[in-house]
Chain A
């Protein structure tokens, strides 16, 4: 067998798209860094963001990472779709298999682990402490470290664009194809190490949020008075804590196979590739609930606000979440009903899968009855939510069809399946996260995103989704499988062309989103970054605690820790007409910033790179560097924190009270 690390720059030399993309990325990166240095922003970037342990700032950084990765993942999608529209019958498209196969793998991995997961953690970070009336998360440094490890993973996966290859194995990398025999170059190693980094980060994040939610709720906020978004976060993080270690263990086994000649998943030496398929799906199925339950949580926050009405069936929501928590571990085999496991196994997992659709369906009814007899305002967050409900039930329909094992035998690995999971993941997850994003944006910055562009973005995504994915159901039924670099039947071309049109409509939606952000950045630049204190409840009808503080919230969130007595804590305050406190403050204790997370992240990134390319001295160096940074921080870091003086708190709270009073008069 050849040297896996041979020819790292082959792709750059041979595939012009890769070369130009890499050049463009490098040029943009250099320009951005140069711009930051020239404008003298580096110091403030370092102090306020890179070393920050403030959950709100980390949340924003996660979201920025997710948006960049969304663009990257979407660029992959455009390439796949345009290529497929040309690669039928006589046509051969423009991407050879070695390249096409990397793209669908990278698209899947990036979208799930480096787009959806960071976006999720961005929302968790920003929202959860505010919603439970806490001043930060339980472990602020760990939070910063999680971000930088995620960041390192994202950079590592993108380095594979220029240096070497990415895996050509699909997003769950079944061996023996992903073993040394099927993938002798370093593509799969990039896959393994970038996901190990993200896995460590995500697991630590889950611990952080579980502890935060269980230990740091405001007095009076019992679990049954907690906002549903926090409940969904509890379940989602509990799932992460149970499943990510499984995935990471599987990656360690695969690493041993690939680096040290072990035989966990090989065809020879009594290895068993089928075990891998079970490992990854024991992870993979709950993972979809990790992503989608918080999406349900977001809807449960947004729909009541824009219906000006209480959430319908609060406790039913929680029970539904808990039922899903348990059941989601009992359905993984539905991802391989076609393995020939026999009647008993297939029947059990088929029925379990259907049962899990019950609590999911109940939630849909909850939102519907929340809208019922409300006063619905069509602001962008609500549009996303209604689009989600409308679309997600369709995805649920095909999902239930897939759960009938004997029907799945006709859908498995076909375009029908790809259509189904994009139906639920775009309609369910992406729409909801974007709803949450536009919903909480004014809380983070004190002003709303451009409304017209927001509405345009929604409609483009919504229409684009249907145009881009419905033909996929049809070609699936016609017999098109997934991961196809070329199709024999030229008659399918028309479907693929329509899908390309759909993808470009979605592109307009993403463009509108990016434009919204650019407008927001321009607005911020005009103010030289000093965003004025904004009013607490920009949408009106806010119900949970995050809407009770100024927008953007002060670094300490709550000047005095609120006392909670009902589920909709802020709504209750408004009903009682509680005035904002403007005097009698105590100094607030805050954790200090630290650069340790950043350095550990950088070491981890280089460590990953060195592992991929078998540069053992660098592996040792970076490993020692990372551990040493950690130890240094533990023993010599600044753990005392600092105090924000009472006068400063008072100053902020007075300004906030003035704004609020003005708002009330107007």
Chain B
């Protein structure tokens, strides 16, 4: 008896905890424009789907109860195996629901496409802050080309200013994810993906890799500090104080596999470093992918067809 009591207390406490700690759900408590739109979509689609799912769940239980074998009063139609009217509704109701959701989905995909610049009504016309992100084994390198600084495992960005994150990876496929700000986007080797985000509030938001990339994957976390313009400038000034320079040799050194890297700053980033990472020509003497493609295209039609490859690295604006 004592045990049962203890167990039920434990369960009661656990359920309460679950409900109470429900107030920190990153995806449902967004702080950015994109993530807020995504949250709206999630909530709307959930509610729409409930309109179908709840009745079905209720129907299973009610039919099971009502038409149980021992209830001889219930109607029994052993040979009834079809009804055009019912079958019509069976197809039409899901089709209607899916049509609504399809329109919704298409609208949002269009509106939130990560590579698109955010509308001026949302982000104003302040110049976009550009960050070039590289997923390394197992840490993040963030290069700020407009400021000539770079960091490991830390992002600072002014609240209210649009941020463009270009991303790639050195080895395995990773994904960039700040749940409170916006979508997951793959950071892939040889590729360049673009993500536009904006944070509306000051705060520190957790970010991490969202695609398994090997032994140190669990530790690939970073903080996104959304701060005032003054604090941002102060932070840039601090980063510029760093004696570390990020040239190609330093990059290759950093790219060695390691775990639990502390936040680090670099002042002075070699021009074109990010371009070279994407095109896999950091090591001196290697030919960049883009160049290889051009050579291949010039050689033959086959080469031309196969080299529609354009990672599309955005240079500093």
Contacts and interface: CB of A to CB of B under 8 A. Distances in A.
Contacts of B182: 409
Interface string B12-26: 001001100110111
Interface stretch (B76-84, B151-159, B235-243, B265-273): B76-84
A538 interface: no
Interface stretch (A238-246, A254-262, A387-395): A387-395
A263 interface: no
Interface stretch (A208-216, A488-496, A514-522): A488-496
A368 B191 contact: no
Contact of A494 (B14, B59, B61, B191): B14
A401 interface: yes
Nearest to B108: A406
Contacts of A488: 206, 221
A637 to B, nearest CB: 47
A340 B186 contact: yes
B194 to A, nearest CB: 7
A374 to B, nearest CB: 5
B115 interface: yes
Interface in B51-71: 52-53, 56-57, 59-61, 63-64, 67-69
Interface in A404-435: 404-407, 409-414
The prevalent SS among residues of A at the interface is helix
A527 to B, nearest CB: 31
B188 interface: yes
A174 B52 contact: no
A483 B175 CA distance: 13
B162 interface: no
A376 interface: yes
Interface in B76-106: 76-83, 86-87, 90-91, 94-95, 98, 101-102, 104-106
B164 to A, nearest CB: 13
A8 interface: no
Given A273-B173, A368-B59, A404-B105, A484 B218 contact: yes
Contact of B171 (A176, A491, A498): A176
Interface in B1-59: 14, 17-18, 21-22, 24-28, 35, 37-39, 41-42, 45-46, 49-50, 52-53, 56-57, 59
Contacts of B215: 97-98, 101, 168
A311 B80 CA distance: 8
B233 interface: no
A274 interface: yes
Nearest to A368: B59
Interface string A170-189: 10001011000110000000
A405 B209 CA distance: 19
Contacts of B163: none
B67 A405 contact: no
Nearest to B79: A310
B104 A358 contact: no
A394 B183 CA distance: 24
Interface string A122-163: 000000000000000000000000000000000000000000
Interface string B191-223: 101100000000000101111111111110100
B145 interface: no
A313 B63 contact: no
B280 interface: yes
Nearest to B100: A354
Contacts, number: 291
B185 interface: yes
Interface in A327-367: 336, 338-340, 342-343, 346-347, 350-351, 354-355, 357-358, 361-362, 364-366
Given A373-B75, A409-B182, A313 B87 contact: yes
B179 A401 contact: no
A614 interface: no
Nearest to B68: A376
Nearest to A357: B98
Contacts of B112: 406, 409
Contacts of A312: 80-82
B87 A267 contact: no
A30 interface: no
Interface string A205-234: 000000000000000000000000000000
A101 B217 CA distance: 10
A549 B190 CA distance: 62
A407 B38 contact: yes
A313 B57 contact: no
A170 B35 contact: no
Interface stretch (A9-17, A472-480, A654-662): A472-480
A385 to B, nearest CB: 10
A267 B190 contact: yes
A400 interface: yes
A471 interface: yes
B45 A407 contact: yes
Given A97-B218, A413-B184, A376 B64 contact: yes
Nearest to B52: A361
B177 A481 contact: yes
B74 interface: yes
Interface in A257-295: 267-268, 270, 272-274, 277
A541 to B, nearest CB: 9
A264 B203 CA distance: 44
Given A314-B81, A373-B80, A401-B45, A393 B183 contact: no
A373 B79 CA distance: 10
A115 interface: no
A506 B183 CA distance: 34
Given A267-B190, A366-B90, A397-B50, A410 B183 contact: yes
A403 B212 CA distance: 21
B210 A414 contact: yes
B231 interface: no
Contact of B106 (A174, A350, A394, A481): A350
B310 interface: no
A126 to B, nearest CB: 26
B184 A389 contact: no
A316 B101 contact: no
Contacts of B216: 97
B53 A478 contact: no
A310 B82 CA distance: 9
A581 interface: no
Contacts of A338: 175, 183-186, 210
A165 interface: no
A308 interface: yes
A346 B280 CA distance: 28
B185 A397 contact: no
B90 A372 contact: no
Given A312-B81, A376-B63, A339 B188 contact: yes
A511 interface: no
Given A397-B50, A488-B206, A488-B221, 17 more contacts: A101-B214, A176-B171, A340-B185, A343-B110, A347-B109, A354-B98, A354-B102, A366-B90, A371-B63, A375-B76, A386-B64, A401-B46, A406-B37, A407-B42, A410-B27, A481-B208, A481-B209
23 contacts: A97-B218, A176-B171, A182-B171, A274-B188, A308-B76, A309-B78, A311-B81, A314-B81, A336-B186, A340-B114, A343-B113, A350-B102, A371-B67, A372-B67, A400-B49, A400-B101, A407-B108, A410-B39, A410-B183, A410-B184, A477-B25, A483-B212, A484-B217
Interface of B: 14, 17-18, 21-22, 24-28, 35, 37-39, 41-42, 45-46, 49-50, 52-53, 56-57, 59-61, 63-64, 67-69, 74-83, 86-87, 90-91, 94-95, 98, 101-102, 104-106, 108-115, 171-173, 175, 177, 179-180, 182-186, 188-191, 193-194, 206, 208-219, 221, 280, 289, 292
